[in-house]
Structures are given as structure tokens and as C-alpha cells.
């Protein structure tokens, strides 16, 4: 207890010593709190006043466009990935390009070592020379055998022909001997039958002997005939056999010629193939364009796969996907405006060149085709017409596909047109004087928003004289109980009354001077609408109906 008294005594002494300073700090804190509250209140008031401004717009000619927006990726017109059929582990002797290089069609890109293939070519050349030498020897032997077979057959046929001639001669001689023997027999028989009785010759014995001679001659003739027939048969048989022998010899001769030539032709074919493959050891650019990837390095062994990728950037495209809802509005030849981060605010021109006929699909992990999104999309290619060196492959482009255009038509902001139902549309026009007063009102609000006190003398709006009692009043509940009315004081009350009167004056002014004009609406853009009608003229002022009449912000904030 004693300790507590000591502490409180010390506190009391502190407050007595620094009484003035503590009072100043408390007063400063209160002032700061009031200032901050007032500032926040004023900002809120200004915001609501700004929200209550009446907007106007002029009827002006504009070029309107209807667009479909999309994003896509910049691609090249042509892309070629260069590969090689060179066997693995072949050494790469040089790589003559880098990513970003521009190469011409036919320019050398990569060179492989051809040491191995040159050895193969040399070996084939040696094999061909040896085969030709062997072929010459074989042809000589084959020709000799062929002609030998023909020679032997010719000799055999000759001998058989000689034998036939000899047998023919023997047959002829035998026939003659038989004829002679028969004639002598007939003569003896005739003499026997007609001889002189004085002739004592024993004709019967002579005839018998002659008959035996005739029989012997006949047998000799038969034997000669048989020998002749055999000779003829032998010749016929030899001709048949010899023909087969010669035909076989001819076939063998020709076959050997063909076989020998085929062997050389096969070697020559291999040689030509290897020589053609020499071209594969020097890789050239298939198209002119920019090198976008190089997959090999000099002095390394070839591991297979791609070597170089070239893209023709002389013509660039943007590839994009269009939703199925918008794709019916997309046509080949439509104009496209596009932007990229690299080209900043500069718009580039393009044209639609390709539209896919089927929806884009993805392949799932199971291999099944699936829709790429909730709605189907279709691939569209846009050719970029505007040349710009800032464009690079792979950039993202924002596209505005122009589906409809209207040039030099009268327009107003979209919210200036009022839909009265049943297809009837109107705008509300005001004269120039009314528009000027509304503009002054807006300028005053802008001044308030910027913390300035507006010059009320330059506007039809005036701050009422608070001393004349035309401001709001309430019954006094003071101590005297007089029931006299007293004024609400302070800046909030002044602004509240000024604002209320100004707003009422403005609304009355608009109601008195606005003219309702029927219009026909046409094409719409994101902000403007095309209008036409008998009462519509360029330059007239119309009300923008997006303004919402708000409650007096001072009444809301001050609780009036």
C-alpha cells in the first residue's frame, strides 16, 4: 500500500510539472483526428458528387468496326527440319551455321567425314577392275568351249554324211550285181529253152549255179540296203542330238556372258550408290530462311536425329484458336489488326488465310481424342501483311478480326440510346446553351474533386445565403426553451444545400430543354452505336443515359 502511494505521488508530480505539455499533446491529437475525419468525409462527398454528374456527347461521324478478339503465336510460313541418313558415329567435320543465321537455299550447313565411304568406293573400283579381268578370261574360255562344241558336232555330222555316201555306193553296187546276176540267169534259161539240138551244153547245171549267184547277189543287196538305212538313221539321230548339244552350248555361252556382266553391273550399281551417298555427307539448306535450331556440334560423332531447323521468316503467320460460337463469322480474306508487346502500340495488318474444317483435338494419355476445352475451337492462320523487324517467332499476338465495317457514319456513345421497348429507340438532345451550363456544372465538380473552391459566380448554381434562413432549420432545444429556430452551421451544411439546389436546378434545366428524337440503330462497336433518323444531325449534343441520380451525399454522411 505504501508502495502504491509512492507511485501515485510520483505520477502526480509528473503531471504537475508537465501539465501544459500534456494539454498541448491532447489538443493536437484531437485536432489531427478532426482534420483526418473532415478530409475523408470531403473525399467521400466529392466522389458521390462526381458520380452524379450529367454526361453529354456529340453526334459525330466515325468509322465503326465489329471485331472478334483472340490471341495467337507468331509462326513462319515454311519450316524445314533437316535430318540425315548418315550412319551413327560418323564424325562431323564442320558446322557452318548458328541459331539466328540467315541461310540461302543450297548453302552448306553441315559436313560429315567421308573417309569411310571413300574407302568403300575405292574398294568397289578395285573389285570392278578385277571382275572385268576375270570376265575377259571367262569369255575366252566360254567362247572356246562354245566353238569346240560346234566343231565336234560338225565333224560328227560330216563323218555320218560320208558313211551314208559310202553305204549308198555299196547299195548301188549290190543292186547292180543283183541285176546282172538276174539277167545272166534269164539268158541261160532262154538258151536252155531255145538251144540247137546239136548243142550239148549242160544248161541245167549252169542255171543252177547262176541261181545260186542270183541268191547271193540278192543277199548282198539286202545287206547293203540295211547298211544304208542304218547310216541314214545314225545321221538323223546325230542331227537331233547335235542340235540339243549345240543349243545347250549356246545357252551356256550366253548364260556365262550374262552372269559375268551381272556381277560387274552389280558392283557398278554399288559404286554409283556410294558416289550418290557422298552428297549426303554435305548437308545443304533445303529452303532460304533463318536457322532456329542446331542440334549437332563440330568434331562430335553423329548420334542420329535432326541436324538443323530452318524457318522462312519472309512471310509470318499467327496461329490462333477461335471458339465454335465465333467461327461462323470468320472467313478467309478478312482483315485482321494485331499487336504484340514487341511492337508496342503499333497495329500491324494481317489477313485470314486458313480456317480448319474440323475442331482442334488433343490426345489423352490413353490415346483417345478429347476436346481441347469445354467448347470446341478451330485453328485459324493469319498471314501478317505489315513487315516489322521487331516481330520474332514464338511471340504472342493479340488479334482483332474485323467481321464488319461501317465508314463515316453518325454515332453516339452506346449509353446515349434509350430502348423504349417494341423495337423503338430514342436519344435525348439538348441545345448548345443547356449543354454549356451542364459543362460548367461538371467543371465545378471537377474543381471540388481537385480540392479547389469553385467560383460560383460563373455558374447558374449559387450558394444560398445562410443568414437569410433559406437553409434547413430545426427546433431549438436550448436551455431557454424559447422554441426559436436555429441554423445548422458548418461547411457540411453549406455544401449540402449548395449541392441540393445545384442538382435540382440542373435536373429542371434538362427536363425543360431535352428533346426526344426517334432513331434507328445500326452497327455497334465496344463503345459507339451508329444512329440515323430525321432529327439527327452531326454536331448536336445528346444526353448519355448512364448517369444515375444519387441521393444527396451530404444527407447520407451527415445523417440529415
Q: Which of these, 52, 54, 37, lies nearest to 492 by C-alpha position? A: 37
Other Cβ atoms less than 10 A from the Cβ of 396: the count is 13
Q: How many domains does the chain fold into?
A: 2
User: Count of H helices and E strands in the chain?
Assistant: 7, 21
* Final residue before a domain boundary, out of 279, 305, 339: 279
Q: What value does the mean pLDDT take over residues 128-133?
A: 83
Q: What value does the mean pLDDT take over residues 548-553?
A: 42
DSSP state of 328: G
For 466-500, b/e burial (b = at least 16 CB within 10 A) is: eeeeebeeeeeeeeeeeeeeeebeeebbbbbbbbb
Residues 119 and 58 in one domain: no
d(CA 442, CA 459): 10
The torsion of the CA quartet 542, 543, 545, 551, rounded to 10 degrees, works out to: 180
Residues 454 and 516 in one domain: yes
Is the pLDDT higher at 88 or at 374? Answer: 88
Looking at the domain assignment, is residue 442 inside a domain? yes
Looking at the domain assignment, is residue 103 inside a domain? no
DSSP state of 91: B
| pLDDT at residue 489 in the model | 43
| pLDDT at residue 536 in the model | 92
Looking at the domain assignment, is residue 99 inside a domain? no
Residues 156 and 239 in one domain: yes
Burial group, residue 148, by CB count within 10 angstroms (0-12, 13-18, 19+): exposed
d(CA 307, CA 300): 12
Looking at the domain assignment, is residue 35 inside a domain? yes
**Residue in this structure with the C-alpha cell 469445354, named with its chain if needed:** 374
Q: Report the 3 state secondary structure along 358-404.
A: CCCEEECCCCCEEECCCCCEEEEEEEECCCCCCCCCCCEEEEEEEEE
| pLDDT at residue 43 in the model | 46
* Final residue before a domain boundary, out of 279, 314, 343: 279
Lowest mean pLDDT among 256-260, 334-338, 536-540, 551-555: 551-555
Residue pair 430/541 in contact by the 8 Å Cβ criterion? yes
d(CA 177, CA 194): 26
Question: Which run of H or of E encompasses 45?
Answer: helix 19-51
d(CA 185, CA 179): 10
pLDDT digits over 440-497, tens only?
Answer: 776 766 666 565 555 555 544 444 443 444 444 444 444 444 443 334 444 444 444 4
Q: What value does the mean pLDDT take over residues 393-411?
A: 91
Residues 274 and 125 in one domain: yes
Is the pLDDT higher at 461 or at 112? Answer: 112
* Final residue before a domain boundary, out of 220, 252, 279: 279
Residues 45 and 185 in one domain: no
Of how many residues is the chain composed?
Answer: 560
Residue pair 81/292 in contact by the 8 Å Cβ criterion? no
Residue pair 92/282 in contact by the 8 Å Cβ criterion? no
> Checking phi first, is residue 533 left (phi over 0); if not, alpha (psi -120 to 50) or beta?
left
Rg of the chain over all Cα atoms, to the nearest angstrom: 63
Residues 56 and 188 in one domain: no
**Residue in this structure with the C-alpha cell 568406293, named with its chain if needed:** 121
d(CA 184, CA 203): 12
d(CA 46, CA 50): 6
**3-state helix vs strand vs coil in the chain, percent to 5:** 50, 25, 25
Decide if pLDDT at 431 tops 90: no
Which residue range forms the structural domain that includes residue 179?
Answer: 115-279
Looking at the domain assignment, is residue 262 inside a domain? yes
Three cell numbers written together for 213: 549267184
Q: Give 62's contacts (C-beta < 8 A, 6+ positions apart).
A: 408, 409, 411, 528
Decide if pLDDT at 6 tops 80: no
Is the pLDDT higher at 482 or at 427? Answer: 427
Which CATH number do you get for residue 124?
A: 1.10.287
Looking at the domain assignment, is residue 18 inside a domain? no
Looking at the domain assignment, is residue 173 inside a domain? yes
DSSP string, 395-440: -EEEEEEEEEEEEEEEEEEGGG-EEEETTEEEEEEE-HHHHHHHHH
| pLDDT at residue 47 in the model | 42
Lowest mean pLDDT among 23-32, 52-61, 78-87, 533-542: 23-32
Lowest mean pLDDT among 1-5, 78-82, 199-203: 1-5
Residues 524 and 419 in one domain: yes
Angle at 545 between CA 542 and CA 547, to 5 degrees: 120
Residues 226 and 148 in one domain: yes
Q: What value does the mean pLDDT take over residues 177-206?
A: 85
Q: Which residues on adjacent β-strands are paired with residue 377?
A: 323
Residues 273 and 131 in one domain: yes
Return mean pLDDT, the chain: 77
- CA 136 and chain centroid, separation: 59
Residues 58 and 157 in one domain: no
Residue pair 28/34 in contact by the 8 Å Cβ criterion? no
**Residue in this structure with the C-alpha cell 466529392, named with its chain if needed:** 46
Residues 136 and 265 in one domain: yes
Residues 38 and 163 in one domain: no
| pLDDT at residue 548 in the model | 37
| pLDDT at residue 374 in the model | 62
**pTM for this one?**
0.47
Amino acid at each position: 500500500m505504501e508502495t502504491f502511494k509512492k507511485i501515485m505521488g510520483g505520477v502526480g508530480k509528473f503531471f504537475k510539472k508537465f501539465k501544459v505539455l500534456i494539454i498541448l499533446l491532447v489538443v493536437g491529437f484531437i485536432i489531427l483526428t478532426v482534420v483526418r475525419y473532415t478530409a475523408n468525409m470531403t473525399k467521400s462527398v466529392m466522389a458521390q458528387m462526381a458520380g452524379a454528374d450529367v454526361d453529354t456527347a456529340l453526334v459525330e461521324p466515325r468509322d465503326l468496326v465489329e471485331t472478334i478478339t483472340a490471341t495467337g503465336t507468331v509462326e513462319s510460313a515454311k519450316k524445314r527440319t533437316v535430318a540425315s541418313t548418315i550412319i551413327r558415329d560418323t564424325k562431323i567435320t564442320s558446322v557452318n551455321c548458328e541459331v539466328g543465321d540467315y541461310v540461302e537455299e543450297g548453302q552448306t550447313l553441315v559436313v560429315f567425314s567421308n573417309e569411310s565411304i571413300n574407302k568403300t568406293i575405292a574398294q568397289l573400283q578395285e573389285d570392278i577392275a578385277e571382275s572385268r579381268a576375270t570376265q575377259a578370261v571367262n569369255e575366252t574360255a566360254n567362247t572356246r568351249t562354245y566353238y569346240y562344241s560346234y566343231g565336234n558336232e560338225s565333224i560328227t555330222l560330216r563323218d555320218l554324211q560320208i558313211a551314208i555316201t559310202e553305204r549308198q555306193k555299196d547299195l548301188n553296187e549290190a543292186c547292180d550285181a543283183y541285176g546282172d546276176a538276174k539277167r545272166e540267169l534269164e539268158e541261160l534259161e532262154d538258151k536252155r529253152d531255145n538251144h540247137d539240138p546239136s548243142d550239148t551244153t549242160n544248161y541245167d547245171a549252169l542255171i543252177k549255179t547262176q541261181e545260186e549267184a542270183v541268191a547271193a547277189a540278192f543277199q548282198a543287196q539286202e545287206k547293203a540296203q540295211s547298211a544304208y538305212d542304218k547310216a541314214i538313221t545314225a545321221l538323223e539321230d546325230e542331227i537331233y542330238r547335235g542340235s540339243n548339244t549345240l543349243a545347250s552350248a549356246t545357252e551356256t555361252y550366253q548364260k556365262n556372258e550374262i552372269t559375268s556382266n551381272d556381277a560387274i553391273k552389280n558392283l557398278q550399281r554399288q559404286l554409283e550408290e556410294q558416289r550418290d551417298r557422298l552428297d549426303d555427307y554435305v548437308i545443304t539448306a533445303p529452303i532460304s530462311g533463318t536457322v532456329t535450331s542446331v542440334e549437332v556440334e563440330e568434331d562430335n560423332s553423329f548420334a542420329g536425329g535432326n541436324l538443323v531447323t530452318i524457318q522462312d521468316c519472309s512471310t509470318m503467320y499467327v496461329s490462333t484458336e477461335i471458339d465454335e460460337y465465333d467461327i461462323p463469322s470468320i472467313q478467309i480474306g478478312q482483315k485482321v489488326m494485331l499487336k504484340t508487346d514487341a511492337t508496342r502500340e503499333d497495329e500491324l495488318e494481317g489477313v485470314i488465310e486458313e480456317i480448319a474444317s474440323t475442331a482442334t483435338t488433343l490426345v489423352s494419355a490413353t490415346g483417345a481424342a478429347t476436346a481441347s476445352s469445354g467448347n470446341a475451337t478451330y485453328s485459324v492462320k493469319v498471314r501478317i501483311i505489315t513487315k516489322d523487324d521487331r516481330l520474332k517467332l514464338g511471340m504472342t499476338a493479340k488479334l482483332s478480326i474485323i467481321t464488319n465495317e461501317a465508314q463515316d457514319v453518325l454515332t453516339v456513345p452506346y449509353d446515349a440510346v434509350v430502348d423504349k421497348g417494341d423495337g423503338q429507340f430514342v436519344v435525348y438532345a439538348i441545345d448548345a446553351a443547356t449543354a454549356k451550363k451542364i459543362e460548367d456544372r461538371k467543371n465545378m465538380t471537377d474543381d471540388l474533386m481537385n480540392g479547389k473552391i469553385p467560383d460560383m459566380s460563373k455558374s447558374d448554381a449559387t450558394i444560398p445565403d445562410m443568414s437569410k434562413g433559406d437553409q434547413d432549420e430545426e427546433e431549438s432545444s436550448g436551455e431557454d426553451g424559447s422554441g426559436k429556430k436555429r441554423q445548422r452551421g458548418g461547411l457540411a451544411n453549406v455544401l449540402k444545400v449548395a449541392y441540393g439546389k445545384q442538382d435540382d436546378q440542373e435536373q429542371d434545366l434538362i427536363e425543360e430543354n431535352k428533346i426526344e428524337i426517334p432513331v434507328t440503330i445500326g452497327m455497334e462497336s465496344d463503345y459507339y452505336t451508329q444512329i440515323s433518323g430525321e432529327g439527327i444531325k452531326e454536331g448536336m449534343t445528346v444526353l448519355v443515359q448512364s448517369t444515375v441520380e444519387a441521393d444527396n451525399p451530404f444527407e447520407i454522411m451527415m445523417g440529415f
